[in-house]
Amino acid sequence: MVTSHHEAAHRIFQDRPELLDPVFRILGVPLPEKSSVEVLTADVTEIRPLERRVDSVLRIEPPDGSGGFILAIEAQGRRDPDKAVSWAYYLSYLKAKYTCPALLLVVCQDKATANWASGPFRLGPEGWTALSVHPLVLSPGNVPVITDPDRAAQNLALATFSAITHGREQEAPAILEALARALAMADPESIAYYSELLEIGLGNAPARDDWRKLMPRSYFPGRGTLIEETFLEGKAEGRAEERAQQVLRVLEKRGIAVPPVTQERIASCADLHALARWVDRAFIVSEVDELFVDES
């Protein structure tokens, strides 16, 4: 489960590796087609008293096994004079450990931090560069502003990342509106994942309040929304099963324990109205029994 704004900025690459393809096109770096993506340990500690940890580490492997590389991803919220040394260490360590090239991708939410993070960072005594670090940087300056619902629906991961990156920009409300409309036709799993990720990824930006207002109005069931109408037009049995799985997934992502007998109750429920109530409540309850408050 995503636990902070900082984590949301890089965690999406772990959960939705399809985001890498458009991102690498933005950066102008070739990414081999149909490459596999493997999430690796983010721990790069060698001497135990000095812990070092990258935000995210991915292995990118082309189908033919040649030209693979390691991608270290860092979310950076401000200038940090100590980061250059840490980033140089990460790249050297990952190169040595996995015996393949390593790249560093830094995600920033403001242009000033992005300009600083672009480097290059030259390490060594004055007059001689012993080592130079050149990060790849994503920021409001190069991440696309997606305000078209159709375009957002084509790539929900990129649309969500656009909203997170531009969360403090004036385009934020239009981006959120487009994403909300796109999610109106998405599957329950995508709704649960992206709505939670985005709310946390926006941090304390004013756009977070905008998103909270958009969520129920745009696509949550039980409130006369578009997705509920579509939901009721389909086969009741199949839709009920989807909603039951959404309830269980939201509870799981929030760390709410669900006993087997309660899992069975939710999974076997065919009452669409009850399932709609449970979906709403799953986002706010502190224990699973609260789903069934005031129900006989």
Q: Tell me: the pLDDT tens digits for 156-199?
A: 999 999 998 998 888 999 999 999 888 888 888 888 888 878 87
What tens digit of pLDDT does each residue of 80-107 get? 988 999 999 999 999 998 898 999 999 9
Predicted confidence band of residue 221 (pLDDT cuts 50, 70, 90) = very low
Percentage of residues in the chain having pLDDT higher than 90 = 21
Greater model confidence, 283 or 6: 283
Please report which confidence band the pLDDT of residue 254 belongs to, taking 50, 70 and 90 as the band edges: confident
Predicted local confidence at residue 222, as pLDDT: 44
What is the reported pLDDT for 218?
Answer: 45
Long-range Cβ contact pairs of 195-198 (< 8 A, separation 24 or more)? 196/1, 196/2, 196/250, 196/253, 197/2, 197/8, 197/11, 197/12, 197/15, 197/160, 197/164, 198/8, 198/160, 198/163, 198/164
Q: Write down the pLDDT at residue 44.
A: 53
Predicted local distance difference test score (pLDDT) of residue 188 = 81
3-state secondary structure of 140: coil
pLDDT tens readout for residues 23-38: 888 888 877 777 777 7
Per-residue confidence (pLDDT) for residue 52, from 0 to 100:
57
pLDDT at 274: 86
The pTM of this model reads 0.63
129-146: pLDDT as tens digits: 888 999 999 999 999 999
Residue 10 pLDDT? 79
Better-predicted residue by pLDDT, 126 or 264: 264
Token reading at 80: 């940090």
**pLDDT on residue 120:** 92
Percent share of the chain, pLDDT over 70: 84
Quote the pLDDT of residue 43: 58
Q: How far apart are the first and last CA of the chain?
A: 32
Residue with tokens 């033919």: 64
> Can you name the CATH fold of 5-138?
Trna Endonuclease; Chain: A, domain 1 (3.40.1350)
- Distance CA(188)–CA(264), nearest Å, equals 19
Mean pLDDT, all residues of the chain: 81
Domain locations along the chain: 5-138, 149-292
Starting at the edge strand that comes first in sequence, how are the strands of the sheet with 136-138 ordered? 36-40, 56-61, 69-76, 102-108, 136-138
